[in-house]
Every structure is written in C-alpha cells, then in structure tokens.
Homo-oligomer: A and B are copies of this chain.
Amino acid sequence: MPTWYNRIAGGSLERLAALSDGIFAVAMTILVLDIHAPAKEAIHGENDLWLALGTLAPRLLVYLMSFLTLGIFWVGQQTQFNQIAQSDRHLTWIHIAFLALVSVMPFSTSLLAEFIGFRLALSLYWANILFLGLILYVSWRYAAHAGLVEDAKTEIRCAIERRILIAQSLYALGALLCVVNTYWSIGFIVLVQLNYAIAPRFKPFSRL
C-alpha cells in the first residue's frame, strides 16, 4: 500500500506536459548554440565566408538529425499523453527519466558533430535514441497496466507499441551500418526520420 504522500504526488498530467514542452524547447534551441559563426580574423572576403560556412555543413547535418530526433520523440510523448487520462507518481518519474535523456541530447549531438567519423560517438548517439524509445515503451506499458489510459481502442494501443518497436529496429539497423562507415549510419537514420516526419503515402512504407 503506497504511503499518503505517494498517493497524491505527481498527479498533474498538465504540469508534466508543461515541463516536457519546456525541456524539449530548451534542448531543441541550444542544439544550435553549438554552431558558431566563423572567427572574424580568418575571413577577408565573401569567398572566405562561403568556404568557412561550407566546413559547418556536417555540423548542420547532425543538428538537423537531432532536431528531427527530438521532434519525433516530442510527437511520440504527446501522442501517448493524448490517450492518458491522468498521471501518478510512477508515470511522472518515468517521464522525468525520459526528460533526462532529452536534456542529454545536445551533448550527444555535440559529441557526434565533433567526432563524426568515430564509431563510439555514433554508438552513444544511438544509445541515446534507444533509451528514449525504451522509456517511452515502458511509459505506455505502465500507463496501460495502471489503468491511466482512457478507453483507447485496442488498435490504438497496439499502434503505439508497434510504432516504437519498428522505429527502434530501423534505428538499430542504422547504427549497425557504422561497421561500414558512420556516414552511412547518419544518412540512414536521417532518412528513417524524414520518413516518419513526412509520412509518405507510398504503399511499402505506409505501415511503418
């Protein structure tokens, strides 16, 4: 039997959503703080600036990937919350763990942007995505099990679980591609993410 404190703690889904929106907003914005304007001293004309900005291109790609990652997990969390009627202390702490991984994403991004050819950097980045997905899966299972989910149809329940499992399988496949080359991994993961963001109607992909 939980104590009185635990029975009343963390019951506000609205505030959990507000904290989440805040942390996502800050994380998504400070990603870009890592992209610095070139040093003025080295730039003597428009051409120098073109070249200097060109060297920022890989960093911009990694930034784009991380913004997509955070966007996808924000939509994922929101979709769950729309189906959940209320929170409790366990769900709150599951999502605080989720948010800890969100707030680590700028560091993972920065590490990968700096060491874009290193398998370790890519593996840590992928681990960040993996744990985000894992916690979101745990969150949904817990919410369903604890009776916090509104009377959602079975189709919706399965769709949320299937979405996480398929997406994570694709991300793992992308991470595995780093055996060949980390750039292949990044390219594959970005394509998977764009697919989820744009949701093309092509038959072969529409069930992912």
Contact = CB atoms under 8 A, between A and B. Distances in A.
This chain: copies in complex: 4
Contacts of A33: 30, 106
A75 interface: yes
- Classify the interface of chain A: helix, strand, loop or mixed: helix
A55 interface: no
A140 interface: no
Interface residues of A, number: 80
A206 B67 CA distance: 39
Interface in A188-205: 197-199
A37 B3 CA distance: 40
A110 interface: yes
Contacts of A5: 79, 159-160, 162-163
A111 B49 CA distance: 10
A100 interface: yes
Given A21-B18, A92-B75, A8 B114 contact: no
A142 interface: no
Interface string A103-115: 1101100110011
User: Which of A3, A26, A29 gathers most chain B CB within 10 Å?
Assistant: A29
Interface in A15-68: 15, 17-19, 21-33, 35-38, 40, 43, 46, 49-50, 53, 64, 67
22 contacts: A2-B199, A3-B207, A4-B155, A5-B79, A5-B160, A5-B163, A8-B79, A10-B79, A18-B18, A19-B21, A19-B25, A19-B74, A26-B26, A32-B104, A32-B106, A37-B110, A37-B111, A37-B115, A43-B115, A46-B120, A53-B120, A71-B96
